[in-house]
Chains A and B, each alone.
Chain A
Amino acid sequence: MQFFDAVRLALQTLRAQKLKSGFSLLGVFIGVASLIGAWSIVNGVNRYMTEKFAQTIFGVNTFQLRRQPVFTPNVPDSVWRAWRRRPRIRFSDADAISEGLTVPAITAWQSSDQVTVAFGNKEARDIELTAASERYFDIKNLKIAVGRPFTGEENRSGAPIAVLGDAVAKRLFVDRSPIGRNVRIGGVPYRVIGVVEKQGSVLGFPLDRFVVVPALSPAQNLVNPPGILDAFLVKARSDAEMREAISQAEGIMRSRRHLRPKQDNNFVLDTSEGVQQFWAGISRILVVLLPGVVLVSLVIGGIVIMNIMLMAVAERTREIGLRKSLGARRRDVLSQFLAESTAIASVGAAFGIVAGILLTLAINAFTPLPANVSPASVVLGVVMGAGVGVAAGVYPASRAARLDPITALRQE
């Protein structure tokens, strides 16, 4: 019997017994759909983390000198309190590093806090006010949509000017142009000189609710005590140069803080690696757990298919006897039933793939989680579906193939 005949026969049987086949492919369906759906989330978040998240929070080839790391998951209170006791980063630290670095790099100051920004009688609350120096926009890769960023001159003179995030501009000015108008921050009027391009969101956190003002503008007092910075940002041209700059900055800071060789740093030089490592940990857990879930549903699916096939063999004993009497060899009968179980599982896998992809689209549309269908998961879905079909079919099919034609024909 040719391969094509076996497949055609299998599909005929499937069509003839729609309900039974429907139930039997449920297990594989769920297994493959959950595989693709979950994998898509891991894949999507992974991509997000490495491509977008790390870049928006840190910038490429950028490190930050801080009192403590930006991203601090599961830190015990004792560690947290130790961090709070550390000395803060001062303007003078930033200046010393700027002068001491031999690696070409651009740098910026940054201090942030939540404030309310007002225009007329309109208010935008919980806006992140960042007092930063002029290269901040370059390091963060913030593109100006309307107007301009502020200059080094304006930064040093502490001019009361502001660059708005997209959401703030929309909230306060709706569709009028904010350029040249004065917004009030902490009671002080700031002239709007630019609006940053829309950034969207990361994992559901909006990225457009911010205002950037010069580091030395009056607002510096709203975010930090005089002379204090949240972070000093350094962007190198390459990863290698960034590492070199980090080690230089570390040396400079240790000598400024008079740390002995055995003492730990009382500051951090934070990169996007920290965030990525944290995510890598989560995704490792998912990658370990995921196959477990998928495996369980595939095993259940396989058992269901095996039972259905054993039933089919019992019900069709006479047919098997007839086919054997007409010249079907063992391997013909074997391949007929294997094709049938594989067809059931493959159809289940096919529906599962479609459902998995739809699930992914739904996750993208209705939740903040980024999801991205991984081609590997689709391939794996197909392979596993067919594999389950073959594995579940072997025993029933070999039972059918071994049937004695005389006994089988006599079966009622």
Chain B
Amino acid sequence: MSQQEFRTGDTPLPDVVILTHKLTRDYDMGSETVRALRGVSIQIRKNEYVAVMGPSGSGKSTLMNLVGCLDTPTSGEYWLNAQKVSDLADDDLARIRNKEIGFVFQTFNLLPRADALHNVELPLIYAGLNAKERRARAAQALERVGLGDRMDHRPNELSGGQRQRVAIARALVNDPSILLADEPTGNLDSTTGLEIMGLFRELHNSGQTVVMVTHEQDIAAQAARVITLRDGLVATDQRQAA
């Protein structure tokens, strides 16, 4: 455990990309309140490769949503890239998601009617780039994931692994601070899953910070650090040899 103690009022160290401090999230389910997170404090540094594990109901999806700025905590602090985002409003969070976070989903979430290039372009549209620049950068991102020759293919003309590569290219196209992957191999066969894991490793080796939620032990084993959640709290936080 090389984590420094963080107190309310502090600012994180410069190389800490993600810092949560006593993060809680309650859901109102009619009469009862579900406490999905009960005070999660973690720090993730630049260029770490972290897997978040835990059984269903442990709060890992909730943590993922909070870290991805899709949701706001009930209490506690969340610092992303030296910016306190836990109390930002809706549209500011959208801007943070656009600039800082690259999502990779289990179900790819590609627009079925758009070709690979346009799918990758999407975040750049909301970043306000002009069409020419968007196309150039999207093409570059597709090259990076090895799909330079599939740019004009629609999702239904691509294999599962290729679809996930398109989704990864889309996640990378804005140069995000973190790549946030939610069960990225859940919908893939094991061979393709390994290919995708290889791609994550490559990205990590080239300096990308990667946070991945998974419930598969051997997928988590690829990461350099595994955080396990149980009942809304951090149960274990271990570094492991690559």
Contacts and interface: CB of A to CB of B under 8 A. Distances in A.
Given A323-B122, A327-B99, 9 more contacts: A12-B113, A322-B122, A325-B68, A326-B122, A327-B94, A327-B127, A330-B94, A331-B91, A405-B70
- Which has the most chain B C-beta neighbours within 10 Å: A327, A328, A331? A327
A332 interface: yes
A12 B170 CA distance: 20
Given A324-B94, A405-B70, A406-B71, A329 B111 contact: no
B97 A327 contact: yes
A319 interface: yes
A329 B125 contact: no
Interface in B47-66: 65
Contact of B126 (A16, A319, A327, A409): A327
A235 interface: no
A332 B109 contact: no
B70 A330 contact: no
Given A2-B128, A326-B126, A409 B113 contact: no
B105 interface: yes
B126 A322 contact: no
B184 to A, nearest CB: 15
Nearest to A327: B98
Contacts of B109: 318, 322, 409
A16 B94 CA distance: 28
A329 B94 contact: yes
A326 B103 contact: yes
10 contacts: A1-B125, A2-B130, A325-B103, A326-B123, A327-B97, A329-B95, A330-B90, A405-B70, A409-B105, A409-B109
Given A406-B65, A406-B71, A327 B111 contact: no
A5 interface: yes
Interface of A: 1-2, 5, 12, 16, 318-319, 322-332, 405-406, 409
Contacts of A322: 109, 111, 122
A1 to B, nearest CB: 6
Contacts of B130: 2
Contacts of A330: 90-91, 94
A145 B111 CA distance: 74
B132 to A, nearest CB: 13
Nearest to B134: A5
Nearest first, the 4 closest Cβ-Cβ pairs linking A and B are A327-B98, A327-B126, A329-B94, A329-B91
Contacts of A332: 94, 126
A326 B97 contact: yes
A331 B92 CA distance: 12
Contacts of B90: 329-330
B97 A325 contact: yes
Nearest to A402: B90
Contacts of A323: 122, 126
A185 B18 CA distance: 110
B91 A16 contact: no
A329 B126 contact: yes
A332 B95 CA distance: 12
A327 B95 contact: yes
B26 to A, nearest CB: 15
B213 to A, nearest CB: 14
A1 B113 contact: no
Nearest to B96: A327
A2 to B, nearest CB: 7
- Which has the most chain B C-beta neighbours within 10 Å: A324, A326, A328, A331? A326
Contacts of B170: 326
A325 B98 CA distance: 8
Interface string B122-165: 11011110110000000000000000000000000000000000
Contacts of B122: 322-323, 326
Contact of B111 (A2, A319, A409): A319
Contacts of B105: 409
Interface string B76-106: 0000000000000011001101110001010
A1 B127 CA distance: 7
A225 B131 CA distance: 88
A330 B95 CA distance: 11
Contacts of B99: 327
B7 to A, nearest CB: 30
B91 A5 contact: no
Contacts of A406: 65, 70-71
B83 to A, nearest CB: 15
B123 A327 contact: yes
Contacts of B91: 329-331
A409 B170 CA distance: 16
Nearest to A9: B125
B125 A325 contact: no
Contacts of A327: 94-95, 97-99, 123, 126-127, 174
B88 to A, nearest CB: 12
